Every structure is written in structure tokens, then in C-alpha cells.
């Protein structure tokens, strides 16, 4: 097992190129199962979750080849319908193969997913919606065993709760369903828009008819295509916060500023100086950080995946701040570790009260989930002395070459093997 050693108190300066989006790549990879032809994907991030999803596709019979800067997926021989626990246990997105397998083969057996321990994130919303397309299912020994003996049939589905995963699963499944499917109360994250763009290029017939309503007309033919995945807005936001936390000056490249305007506006209110250009943003830190009250919310609200990172910045604010976590019920596990570094954060239910004017102290730390792990890196970058972050396999699930990117920006950070 590996860990990170961080020598803090250095300002980050320079340029950083943002990788492809993990959260867009995962449903797009699952959606390739609809095809019996060759699909070329570009800009996939080199992170553990993507490797796991590709291994899952291979286990289902997909042939996957890597060329320079692109991944070629060939499903001409793909016939298997079983997604095992061993492959799905580390990644929530494994459940996304259920929709395309049912659409293509009318049956599937998929393990209930694993991933970060940040809340229940149940799949019942997925299953209830799929049942309206004609799917019958049962859960047995940790597996969803599902079939649609007469194939999937279009229907009107109103999600009881906004769910990114359920929206993605149903969009993919409905593409091969007979007739028309109307999905309402959909999640509208940019990664979902990227998925629908990808599917439409494949020959699917998907149209956003209002802000949270999608109409999908089922098709029988899928095109052979090449597609480049969008940038990772959470990685972009993380580096924006890194500039603020260290009082640095970073130019964050390969982004679409319009997509992260909520995050940019929050960081401006906190006191960071941000210059917006065509495909990049420049973020300049400020000694005077202002306090704020932030609520996480579905897009276009402030993303839950940036909650841990912004908390580190608010520890530097002039007064106390409040973060209200309205997406996941167990997403303050980083608080205990930040408090060990000198932070003064009190959690009451889904609220964290963050006292300001904190100087972090170096410490040995334990990562608990993907975004919590990067918040510890951010705190360690500002702390005098050496911090050690254990269990960084969480970090590797979603951040490509993070220590190499940070080193280029002036951080003193290295990856070492546990003795």
C-alpha cells in the first residue's frame, strides 16, 4: 500500500492541464455496451475507477485496445451478462452496466455496487424506473437479477428524487427500448449532457424537452463513432481551491468556464481573484479569505464533490462559516482528520460549522474516501512540516497523476511505499 508525504507551506504557481472527466467517462463506457461496433474514446482519465470499468467491460466480452491518447472498444463478440462483485465492489458506477445489458439482451445479473462510504446511495430508484420499462427483478445474495422477457418498452417515468446514476442508467436503457420514453425530474449535471451527446452521435434519438425532462425514441441501429470526453470539473475545482489555500497563482487549462461558473462565483465571494479566458481560468490567492454559508445541491448548485475541498479553504476565513451537506448523509468523515491538523470544525447533523483563522499543523492522516483524501492533501500543502497521508488508493480512484501535477506547480510531495 502506498502513501503520500507532503512538505507544506509552499505557494503553488504555474499551469495545470485538467484531465478528462471520470464522472462522464464511466457512464459513457457503460453505454458502449449498446453497440456491436467499434467505438473510439478520447480524453479518458488514467484513474483507477476507469481501469476498473474497462476491466468490467472486458469481463463481459468487450475487446479493449489502447492507442496513443485513445481507447478502442470492440463489442462484436460481447455476449456475457454477468457483472461480478469482485469488479463492482470498489466502484458505484458498476451498476450502470445494468441498463445497457437489459436493453441489449433482455436479462442481466449485476452486483450491487460499492465505492466510497459516504452514504447509502441506494439503487432502488434505478430499479423502480427500469421496472416501468418492463423489467422484472429480484435481489439475491447481493446481486440484482433482472430480465425483460418481452424487451424494454418506452414509458413515462418521473424520478421520485433527482439521481445522477438513475438518470444515466435509464437514458442508456431507453435508447434501445421500443417506442418513446419520457424521463422527468432528471439530474442535469454536465456529465449527463456529455452522455446524451455521445449517445446521439451513436445514432440514438435523445432530446431535452425542458430543463429536467428528456424524450428518448428507441432505435435499433447504433453507429460506429469517435468521441472525446469532457473535462473533469471536480478536478478543475480542486485546483482552483489549491490556488486559494496556498495563496498561489494557477492557470487551469482545458476547461469550459461556463460549466463551473457556480464554483467560480463562490470562490470569488470568498475572496479569490479569478480571470476567465476562453478555455482556462486563472486563480490568484488572497490573504484575506471571507467566510460563507454554502449548501451542496444538484447541478447547477454547489457540488457535493467539492465540499471537502472548500471546507479546507474556509478554515482560513476571517470568521466562522457553515457548510450544509444536502446530497449525502455521511460526507463529513474528513472533519476528524482536519481537526487533528488544527482545524476547529463542529458537525451537527448535516451541517459543519467551521471556525476561521486556522493555521494547519502537519500530521499523519488517514484518507476515508475520494474527495476527503484530496482535502487532506490541500490542508497538508499549507501546513509547516511533513504530513503523511495513508490509504491514497481512494485518491487514485479519481485524480490522474496528482502528485506529478502538484510537483510541477511547486509542491513538495512524493509517493512512497508503506514499509
Residues with Cβ within 8 Å of residue 124, at least 6 apart in sequence: none
| CA 42 to mean position of chain CA atoms | 18
DSSP 305: G
Give phi and psi for 378, each to the nearest 5: -60, -45
Q: Locate 134 and state its grid cell.
A: 418492463
Q: Does residue 206 contact residue 175 with C-beta atoms inside 8 Å?
A: yes
CA distance 410 to 11: 7
Three-state secondary-structure class, residue 75? coil
Beta strands, E only, 159-204: 180-184
Q: List Cβ neighbours of 10 (8 Å cut-off, separation of 6 or more).
A: 246, 381, 410, 411, 412
What are phi and psi for residue 302, nearest 5 degrees? -75, 130
CA distances, 234 to each of 20, 98, 208, 374 (Å): 10, 26, 24, 11
Options 116, 175, 186, 315, the catalytic residue: 116
Residue 186 bears catalytic tag: no
The C-alpha atoms of residue 30 and residue 319 are separated, in whole angstroms, by 45
Task: Compute the half-sphere exposure of residue 89: CA atoms within 13 Å on the CB side of its CA.
Answer: 5
Evaluate whether 57 touches 93 at the Cβ level (below 8 Å): no
- Concatenating the DSSP letter of every residue in 381-399 gives HHSBSEEEEE-THHHHTT-
Instruction: Check residue 44 and report its DSSP letter.
Output: -
Distance (Å, whole) CA 357 – CA 287: 11
Helix axes 22-31, 164-174, angle to 10 degrees: 30
How many residues in the chain?
Answer: 419
Q: How far apart are the first and last CA of the chain?
A: 9
* C-alpha cell read off for 155: 414509458
Whether the CB-CB separation of 239 and 18 falls below 8 Å is answered with yes
121: left (phi over 0), alpha (psi -120 to 50) or beta: left
Active site residues: 116
Amino acid at each position: 500500500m502506498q502513501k503520500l508525504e507532503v512538505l507544506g507551506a509552499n505557494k503553488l504557481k504555474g499551469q495545470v492541464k485538467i484531465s478528462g472527466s471520470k464522472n462522464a467517462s464511466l457512464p459513457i463506457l457503460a453505454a458502449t455496451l449498446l453497440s456491436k461496433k467499434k467505438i473510439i474514446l478520447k480524453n479518458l482519465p488514467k484513474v483507477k475507477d476507469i481501469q476498473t470499468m474497462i476491466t468490467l467491460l472486458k469481463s463481459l466480452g468487450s475487446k479493449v485496445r489502447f492507442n496513443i491518447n485513445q481507447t478502442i472498444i470492440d463489442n462484436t463478440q460481447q455476449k456475457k451478462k454477468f457483472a461480478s462483485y469482485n469488479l463492482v465492489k470498489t466502484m458505484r458506477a458498476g451498476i450502470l452496466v445494468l441498463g445497457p445489458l437489459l436493453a441489449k439482451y433482455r436479462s442481466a445479473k449485476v452486483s450491487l455496487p460499492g465505492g466510497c462510504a459516504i452514504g447509502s446511495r441506494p439503487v432502488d430508484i434505478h430499479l423502480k424506473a427500469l421496472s416501468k420499462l418492463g423489467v422484472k427483478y429480484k435481489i439475491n445474495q447481493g446481486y440484482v437479477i433482472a430480465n425483460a422477457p418481452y424487451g424494454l418498452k418506452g414509458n413515462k417515468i418521473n424520478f421520485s428524487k433527482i439521481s445522477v446514476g438513475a438518470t444515466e442508467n435509464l437514458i442508456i436503457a431507453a435508447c434501445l427500448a421500443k417506442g418513446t420514453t419520457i424521463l422527468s425530474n432528471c439530474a442535469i449535471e454536465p456529465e449527463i449532457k456529455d452522455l446524451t451527446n455521445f449517445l446521439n452521435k451513436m445514432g440514438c434519438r435523445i432530446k431535452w424537452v425542458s430543463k429536467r425532462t428528456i424524450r428518448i425514441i428507441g432505435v435499433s441501429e447504433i453507429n460506429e463513432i469517435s468521441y472525446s470526453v469532457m473535462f473533469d470539473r471536480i478536478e478543475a475545482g480542486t485546483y482552483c481551491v489549491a490556488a486559494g489555500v496556498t495563496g498561489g497563482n494557477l492557470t487551469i487549462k482545458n476547461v469550459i468556464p461556463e460549466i463551473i461558473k457556480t464554483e467560480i462565483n463562490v470562490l470569488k465571494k470568498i475572496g479569490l481573484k479569478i480571470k476567465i479566458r476562453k478555455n482556462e481560468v486563472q486563480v490568484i490567492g488572497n490573504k484575506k479569505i471571507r467566510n460563507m454559508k454554502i449548501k451542496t445541491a444538484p447541478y447547477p448548485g454547489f457540488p457535493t464533490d467539492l465540499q471537502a475541498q472548500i471546507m479546507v479553504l474556509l478554515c482560513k476565513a476571517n470568521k466562522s462559516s457553515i457548510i450544509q451537506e444536502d446530497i449525502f448523509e455521511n460526507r463529513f468523515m474528513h472533519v476528524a482528520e482536519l481537526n487533528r491538523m488544527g482545524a476547529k470544525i463542529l458537525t451537527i447533523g448535516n451541517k459543519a460549522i467551521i471556525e476561521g483563522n486556522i493555521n494547519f499543523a502537519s500530521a499523519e492522516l488517514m484518507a476515508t474516501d475520494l474527495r476527503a483524501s484530496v482535502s487532506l492533501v490541500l490542508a497538508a500543502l499549507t501546513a509547516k512540516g511533513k504530513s503523511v497521508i495513508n490509504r491514497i488508493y481512494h485518491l487514485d480512484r479519481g485524480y490522474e497523476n496528482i502528485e506529478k501535477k502538484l510537483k510541477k506547480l511547486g509542491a513538495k510531495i512524493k509517493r512512497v511505499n508503506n514499509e
